[in-house]
Structure 1
Amino acid sequence: MAGASWAEGVPIETSANTSSGLRLEADFQFPLFTVIYSIVFVLGLVENVLALYLLACRVEHTSHSYVYMMNLALVDTLFVCVLPFKIHYHLNRNNWLFGDVACRLTGTLYYINIYLSIAFFTCICVDRYIAVLHPFTYIQIRVGHYVAVVTVLWVVALSVMAPLILGGPLHSNSGVSNTTTCFENFTTSSGIYRMAPYNILALLFGFVIPFSIILISYPLIAKRISRTKRSVRKRRALRTIYIILVICTLCFLPYHLTHLLHFLMRVQVIQNKSFASFIYKMRRVTLALVSFNCCLNPLLYYFTSCSKRWLFSCPLRFRSKVVYTICDQQRGEATSGYKLQHRAGPKPPRDGTN
């Protein structure tokens, strides 16, 4: 995946740029990663576990696109579950103590979370586009089609990450600090050029094309809705893509822009020392902030659901019955009103009630 060829948080850049006399430092990253990942772990775990429960058990689904949302919540939950390892890693100034398997797992889930999230966002936008602009085609789509798409996305993501899973991302640094870094074995000059096609393809198909589809879907749906009578379903479709655009703009767009600039710096296309130092520091920030999508994605589940059971999902809640009113047929007005109480056994219907 894009970005997997570089360290997440090395305090001093010691690869190809060192030969050109460029020394990059970012000591602020240690408290930054620790604080951000701690917040994401607490909020993301609570929000996504609750979202999975509600999507699976409590919320009444009006669209098959809930399959995408459930998988989005699942991939977020998997990612936040490994964040304690990353928090410990950055607290110890990038010294990995949990072994090779744990390193591969956390690094792989980091990039799977980024690109599967974008993929599911794109699928949701396409689903809303078809629902609004091609409603007759939309009603012919079955839940099995959604399951098939999700299965393909998972298979592709795992297949693309296979070289990183089966390779050796754990890299031991026996320098002055004598620390063991994780997912940073591609920092040599040969590793950068070897991974260049891999990163370019991931950037193109993992973000540029999906984000372009999302950008195109929003104005098309907005234009169609402006021409027809507004409905709850159409407003919800527009709101869905709007929330997705906000999440992509805040989390994924800055990450990929700095990723591209960082790649140009590593292959020495960008050689200005001041600008290179700025890019390196901004990459530390965007690497941390991209994980906030795990906290923002549950907003998508909530605001795109028309069901009030997101708020009142407790099985033991108390609900009052509907107020029945007896009307005087001659006067055309209510003569009495009362609230039916809970009673044991069936209740026979009354004449004159609605």
Structure 2
Amino acid sequence: MNTSVGDFPGNCSTPADYQFYLFPAVYSLVMALGLPGNVGALYMFIFKITPRTSSNVYVINLALADTAILCTLPFKIHYFLNRNDWVFGDMACRITGTVFFANIYISIAFMTCICVDRYTAVAHPHIYLRLRNSCYTVVVSVAVWVVAGVAVLSFIRVGPLDSKPGGGRPQRRSCFENFSKHEWDRRVAPYSLFSLVFGSLLPSVVILVCYPLVARRIALIRTNTARGALRVIYTILAITLLCFLPYHVVHFLHLLRRQGAIHHCPYANAIYNARQVTLALVSLNSCLDPLLYYFTTSRCKWSPSMARFRWIWARRNSGLYTIAVGQ
């Protein structure tokens, strides 16, 4: 199957059959690992871990965002197994597509909130101690969801997001891809630009700047707690560099290509293929985040008699990372 990779003059196409195997395999793995991990994390953080610190609140919201993404994956798996033929109707396409992409940026937003929270705890402990149990965390979390909700609803209400490609196959519908130039210019491009600046560029700068500063500060503290906090920081940096950064760099190139700034077919084809790979990579965030939750709030112990992993949750009064800011 040749897939169109552009709607500007000098249109290019590239063989893309690999996506029918790549996405179902990756999404199935992400669901198998991510759904129980995030649901388990939600249960533990909501019902078992006390007190409810600012970090805990952000982690709960991050797990909610991951769970929302995971709930859209069965539809996407069917879509790719059905060779990019969407059968669930226009409204389901609008909802699953917008929820999937919106929650990518919601996840980044809450990881950024955790980053700022950890930076404040280490660099400005007295301010952190005054703020960590206040309502500002809830206000920030609600603000993130409200902004995302307004964007999602406005995008859904504008019109259909599935399309009928030509080529003698009028009944085959694509979902959230193969936008016409008119639809791209009118709807997708403004949201893409907004998302790249406020949902990607700014959070990435905060994460990539604040976490090294925090790591440098913590490295001066010779305790097991500090070493554990460093592992948490490096894990979040690894998730950002593996899942989010490649996706957003390629998405920026994809935006340039769709706007006509990149015409050369080999480059356009390379961007299209890279976009498919990074779309698969960005979903891995939803199954990697539970590892972050568990490593920062629990001890992982192998139980040979039961032949399984057992998670033993420690009661820690200082919250997610237990950085001893007041000692």
Query: TM-score scaled to structure 1, two decimals?
Result: 0.79
Gaps of 5+ in 1: 1-9, 314-354
In 2 relative to 1, CA 193–103 (structure 1 residues): closer, same or farther, beyond 3 Å?
closer
- Farther-moved stretch of structure 1 (155-164 vs 288-297): 155-164
1:219 corresponding residue in structure 2:
212
The 1:155–1:21 alpha-carbon spacing in structure 2 relative to 1, beyond 3 Å, is: closer
Partner of 1:43: 33
Displacement of 1:274 after TM fit?
Answer: 1.2
Q: Which residue of 1 aligns with 2:199?
A: 206
Distance apart, 1:280 and its partner CA: 0.7
Q: For residue 312 of structure 2, give the secondary structure of its aligned residue in structure 1.
A: coil
Q: Secondary structure at the match of 2:115?
A: helix
Whether the 8 Å contact between 1:51 and 1:301 is mirrored in structure 2 is yes
CA distance in 2, matches of 1:14, 1:270: 11
Where does 1:31-110 land on structure 2 (aligned, <5 Å)?
A: 31-61=21-51, 63-110=53-100
Q: Report the residue type matching 1:222 in the other structure.
A: A
The SS at the match of 2:173 is: strand
Structure 2: how far apart are the matches of 1:246 and 1:94? Answer: 31
Residues 1:283 and 2:260 aligned together: no
- Aligned mate of 2:257, from 265, 270, 276: 265
Q: Deviations over 1:66-111 (max 9, x none)?
A: 1010111111112212211111111111111112222122111111
Partner letter of residue 215 of structure 1? Answer: L
For 1:184, the equivalent position in structure 2 comes to: 177
The match for 1:144 is 135
Distance 2:120 2:63 in 1: 23
3-state DSSP of counterpart to 1:12: strand
1:112 partnered with 2:102: yes
Contact 1:214 1:241 in 2 (8 A): no
CA-to-aligned-CA distance 1:229-265 (integer Å, 9 cap, x gap): 3345544443332211111111111111111111111
Say whether the 8 Å CA contact 1:108–1:161 is kept in structure 2: yes
SS in 1 for 2:174: strand
| Cα deviation, residue 140, structure 1 | 0.6
- Match of residue 312 from structure 1: 312
What CA distance in whole angstroms lies between the structure 2 residues aligned with 1:153 and 1:14?
33
Corresponding letter in the other structure for 1:88? H
The one-letter code matched in structure 1 to 2:251 is H
Quick one: distance in 2 between partners of 1:35 and 1:205? 31
Shift of 1:159: 1.2
Deviation at 1:307, TM superposition (A): 6.5
Query: How much has 1:131 moved relative to structure 2?
Result: 0.5
User: What displacement does 1:64 show?
Assistant: 2.5
Counterpart-to-counterpart distance in 2, 1:28 and 1:65:
40
Q: For each residue in 1:262-319, what CA deviation from the matched residue of structure 2 results, as whole angstroms up to 9, or x when unmatched? A: 1111222112211211111111111122111000001111122256798236xxxxxx
Superimposed CA distance per residue, residues 93-138 of structure 1 (whole angstroms, 9 cap, x where no aligned partner):
1111112222122111111221011000100010000101111111
For residues 87 and 244 of structure 1, do their structure 2 counterparts lie closer, same or farther at Cα, with a shift above 3 Å needed? same
Answering whether residue 145 of structure 2 is matched by residue 154 of structure 1, we say yes
Change over 3 Å in CA distance of 1:62–1:167 after alignment to 2: closer
| 8 Å CA contact 1:131, 1:138 repeated in 2 | yes
Change (3 A) 1:62 1:91: same
Deviation, structure 1 residue 23: 2.2
Deviation at 1:20, TM superposition (A): 0.9
CA distance in 2, matches of 1:290, 1:122: 16
Alignment correspondent of 1:294:
286
CA-atom RMSD in angstroms: 2.3
Secondary structure of the 2:16 match is coil
Q: Number of residue pairs matched?
A: 301
Counterpart Cα distance in 1 of 2:19 and 2:98: 21
Letter matched to residue 189 of structure 2: A
How far apart are the structure 2 equivalents of 1:295 and 1:64?
A: 23
From 226, 244, 247, give the equivalent of 1:255: 247
Of the three residues 157, 163, 172, the one matched with 2:154 is 163
- Contact 2:108 / 2:203 at 8 angstroms: preserved in 1? yes
Task: Name the CA shift for 1:62/1:49 in 2 (closer, same or farther; >3 Å).
Answer: closer
Q: Is structure 2 residue 15 aligned with structure 1 residue 25?
A: yes
8 A Cα contact 2:119 2:214, kept in partner: yes
Which AA in structure 2 matches 1:223?
R
Q: Identity over the aligned pairs, expressed in percent? A: 48
Contact 1:33 1:90 in 2 (8 A): yes
Label 1:311 to 1:60 Cα distance change in 2 as closer, same or farther (>3 A): farther
Contact 1:126 1:217 in 2 (8 A): yes
The 1:169/1:136 distance shift into structure 2, 3 A limit, reads same
Residue type of the alignment partner of 1:118: I
Q: Which has the higher helix share?
A: 2
Q: Residues of 2 paired with 1:302 and 1:62: CA distance?
A: 16
Q: Could you tell me which amino acid in structure 1 is paired with residue 312 of structure 2?
A: F
Give the C-alpha shift of residue 209 in structure 1.
0.9
Larger radius of gyration: 1
- CA separation in 2, counterparts of 1:152 and 1:250? 27
Moved more, 94-103 or 120-129: 94-103
